A = this chain, B = another copy of it.
């Protein structure tokens, strides 16, 4: 008998309220962290340094939240989106607990909703994905929407039975152990330098055109997709893409595009960051190919005090390709309005837009840093 198994689902394969227990079962190790660091030069010190992590109360350097998001997205492809046409939206992404190197991760997705779109041969599926570690601690939670074809996937083997559930309570937005020690007037902290921008410097309505871009290489995006267990052939199977990709070649996974763009913004905005409190309202408005150069721009949307040492800031971060955002802004481009609702003034260079809420250090009061 000739078998030709296919994975993923089309619209009629999704059952609302069903939970799919994704089959991947992966220990995240120091090598995984290093591979992530080798593509995304992120400035947030807590994610890169054991010392910086301990200084905010964590027991070790945590796995980068965007790596967790990429693992969750990729693990879910096998059951949710391997046959999908497009990823439509990131919604309410949270990192309620720290994950550490050595943790073993699994993920599941619950179908929140599905509906056909007007043309009739496609539909939108809406799922919530949870990533948990070996002790069932929730380390990443997010919703997403994907565009799929109607009908069913032929030759999809049945999933093995499982008893995985998803918690329904509010998962929180940051690890409970994060706590900064107040500076002592008698023992001032060592001042070891660092990045320039603190919470006070991020003024509402300020716009940052981040200076440096990053060209994406073929090997990087394929290996990061493989590493995170993304099984959509759009990202690594050139034969498939010649027939089935909108670009007629391999397309960079959106979760990686998002990671590059946030990393490009990080020296200016996250160099004194402590934790990602959430991502929301995220959309990819066009695809990225190997060879494209990514850039980032940020607008500060809101700012809130969180005690004497910390504040939160909500940033709207936009990624564009092959053009510097400074040039776009100088030409009068409307970078920060979502593309989806625009009737005119679309920014064709835009590749991703998302809201990011960050916990950021405040400047230590002058009296305690003599």
CB-CB < 8 A to A209: which residues of B? 2-4
Cβ of A59 under 8 Å from chain B = no
**A222 lies within 8 A of chain B by Cβ:** yes
Smallest CB gap from A158: residue in B: B196
Q: Interface readout for A1-41 with B: 1 if CB under 8 Å, 0 if not?
A: 11111110000000000001111111101111111011111
Residues of B within 8 A of A164 (CB): 191-193
Check if A208 is an interface residue, CB within 8 A of chain B: yes
Interface residues of A in 208-226 (CB under 8 A from B): 208-215, 217-220, 222-224, 226
Residues of chain B within 8 A (CB-CB) of A185 are none
Interface size on A, residues (CB 8 A): 102
Residues of B contacting A190 with CB < 8 Å? 163
The answer to whether B215 touches A217 (Cβ under 8 A) is no
Closest chain B residue, CB of each to CB of A45: B25
- Residue A250 is within 8 A (CB to CB) of chain B in the complex: yes
A20 to B192, CA, bound (A): 10
Tell me whether A159 is interfacial, beta carbon within 8 Å: yes
A227 lies within 8 A of chain B by Cβ: yes
B contact residues around A45 at 8 Å (CB): 25
A203 contacts across to B, CB distance below 8 A: 1
CB distance from A190 to the nearest CB of B (A): 6
> Could you say which residues of chain B place their CB within 8 Å of the CB of A218?
217-219
Q: Write the nearest CB–CB distance from A20 to chain B, whole angstroms.
A: 8
Select A192's contact among B4, B162, B224, B323, beta carbons within 8 Å: B162
Contact: A2 with B207, CB < 8 Å? yes
Choose the segment among A89-97, A117-125, A173-181, A228-236 that binds chain B (4+ C-beta atoms closer than 8 Å). Answer: A228-236
Report if A104 contacts B (CB, 8 A).
yes
Least CB distance, A116 to chain B, in whole angstroms: 26
Once A7-B267, A219-B218 are accepted as A-B contacts, the answer to whether A38 and B226 lie under 8 Å apart by CB is yes
Interface-facing stretch out of A49-57, A279-287, A350-358: A49-57
Chain A 244-265 interface mask (CB, 8 Å, partner B; 1/0): 0000001000000000000000
Closest to A237 in B: B213
CB-CB under 8 A from A29, the residues of chain B are 30-31, 33-34, 101
Q: Which of B6, B23, B49, B295 contacts A271 (CB 8 A)?
A: B23
| A112 proximal to B (CB < 8 A) | no
The one of B49, B134, B217, B326 that contacts A104, using a Cβ cutoff of 8 Å: B49
Known: A192-B106, A233-B212. A38 touches B227 (CB 8 A): yes
Q: Which B residues touch A4, using CB under 8 A?
A: 208-211, 326
A237 near B215: Cβ-Cβ < 8 Å:
yes
Contacts of A201 in B (CB 8 A): 157
CB nearest neighbor in B for A363: B160
A32-B34, A164-B192 known, 20 other contacts, Cβ within 8 Å: A2-B209, A3-B206, A4-B326, A5-B211, A22-B193, A23-B43, A25-B49, A27-B50, A34-B34, A50-B104, A50-B134, A78-B267, A213-B236, A213-B237, A214-B236, A215-B236, A217-B218, A219-B220, A237-B293, A238-B293
6 A-B pairs (CB sep. < 8 Å) = A3-B209, A4-B209, A35-B38, A159-B193, A213-B238, A214-B236
